[in-house]
Structure 1
Amino acid sequence: MLDASRIPALLITLGLLAACTSHAENEGLAATTSSGEAYAQGVPGSVVSETEQISAVVKAVDQKKRTFTLEDEQGNRQTFNAVPEMRNFSQLKVGDHVNAVVTHERVIELRAPGKAAEDGAAGLVATAPEGDKPGMLVANTVEITAVVKAIDTTQHTATLQFADGTRKVVRVRPDIELKSSYLNQEVVIRMTSALAISVEAP
């Protein structure tokens, strides 16, 4: 029913990208991005996915400060702080190749009448076995619900009200017929982010 690209991220990366925080004065690494959207014509709801891939080489490691500097193929450099969850940091060496993949998925659907709400969050952290090159997988899922409070057939928009009372007007896909039966129905917004980091020796 809703254009997922207009739904705010709403905590989607909180705690996720904190796994490796970077110093703001760095240039930032180049990333390869891809995205896609899937939906059934005329059916409310959609799935939107976005993926970023970063490949770089370790140029410096400070074991005491637990920091490391990466450089991509374009020569951009960025320094990161390794959090305690990044086990085996001592195994990281200059010249190692680091691959990182960040995936975001947003699923939006109308909740079936009578189905219980599941607002909340779930997370997963997995690290490399002791003695291996450092690596980790962090995943976070947040589900929130909103209620359709108004429909504007002229502007082809819907007004959603969230649990905290805030409202947001969102555009509805052109192929969706705005029906009065959608009023007061719940819209489920489920957002999942995953960060996978792997390290390979040169």
Structure 2
Amino acid sequence: MHHAKSLAALFIALTAVGGCSSPTHDEGLTATASSASSFTPGVPGGVDIQTVQVTAVITAIDQQRRTFTLQDDQGNRQTFDAVPEMRNFSQLKVGDRVNAVVTHERVVRLREPNATSTDGVAGVVATAPEGSRPGMLVAGTKEITAVVKAIDTTQHTATLQFPDGSSKVVRVRPDIELKPSYLNKQVVISLTSAMAISVEAP
């Protein structure tokens, strides 16, 4: 018997799978993953993007319980609850193809000391209009600011202190020259996650 999970759990599942596992018939859906990085040599910071995609077909629908079961091309199946924000659930039909794409983007940049922090979280949820095919877009951004408290030119690492007082030693890219002038500068980390779900008729 398959465990019903909320549609939000699909977001978590896609994040965790990362395309590196081969689930069995009852362990979940197969996902494919890709990643890309962009940076300027010698300049601290850069952009990392990870994308995970799942495509599956609806094999069962329970209108009363608002659940639907997906099966991928490998035969793996998983059942999900349709969250209240998922409009037009009644229009789902067995045989419909569901496409889900999760994208994570991390942008890191260096900023001068004492610059105004913009730490915070923002998000948006968009659903399909009434009468159209079911679908959903969920996106959120979080910004974290840390301060460079120490550098180690031997190990080529930097110690970052976060707003809650915790510290973390991070490895610095080999092409970056660790300069004393980096001390007390701010490292701004912007994390953006987005999930898009669309449903297509066979």
TM-score in terms of structure 2 length: 0.87
Equivalent-residue separation in structure 1 for 2:88 and 2:111 (angstroms)? 44
Equivalent-residue separation in structure 2 for 1:18 and 1:142 (angstroms)? 23
Structure 1: which 5+ residue stretches go unaligned?
Answer: 1-16
Q: Deviations over 1:106-164 (max 9, x none)?
A: 00000245542110011011110101121000000000100001101111000110000
Structure 2: which 5+ residue stretches go unaligned?
Answer: 14-24
Residue type of the alignment partner of 1:59: T
SS in 2 for 1:144: strand
Aligned partner of 2:178 in structure 1 is 178
Aligned partner of 1:169 in structure 2 is 169
Query: How many angstroms does 1:20 deviate by?
Result: 2.8
Aligned partner of 2:9 in structure 1 is 21
Number of corresponding residues: 185
1:97-136 to structure 2, matched below 5 A, reads: 97-113=97-113, 115-136=115-136
The alignment status of 1:33 with 2:21, answered yes or no, reads no
What RMSD over aligned residues (CA atoms) do the two structures have, in Å?
A: 1.8
1:146-157 to structure 2, matched below 5 A, reads: 146-157=146-157
On the 8 A contact 2:113/2:184 being kept in 1, the answer is no
On the 8 A contact 1:141/1:193 being kept in 2, the answer is yes
Equivalent-residue separation in structure 2 for 1:44 and 1:109 (angstroms)? 7
- Percent identical residues: 70
Aligned partner of 1:159 in structure 2 is 159
Query: How many angstroms does 1:100 deviate by?
Result: 0.6
Greater RCO (CA < 8 Å, at least 6 residues apart): 1
The alignment status of 1:96 with 2:84, answered yes or no, reads no
Equivalent-residue separation in structure 1 for 2:107 and 2:7 (angstroms)? 24
Query: How many angstroms does 1:21 deviate by?
Result: 2.4
Equivalent-residue separation in structure 2 for 1:159 and 1:191 (angstroms)? 20
Query: How many angstroms does 1:95 deviate by?
Result: 0.6
1:45-64 to structure 2, matched below 5 A, reads: 45-64=45-64
Equivalent-residue separation in structure 2 for 1:21 and 1:122 (angstroms)? 20
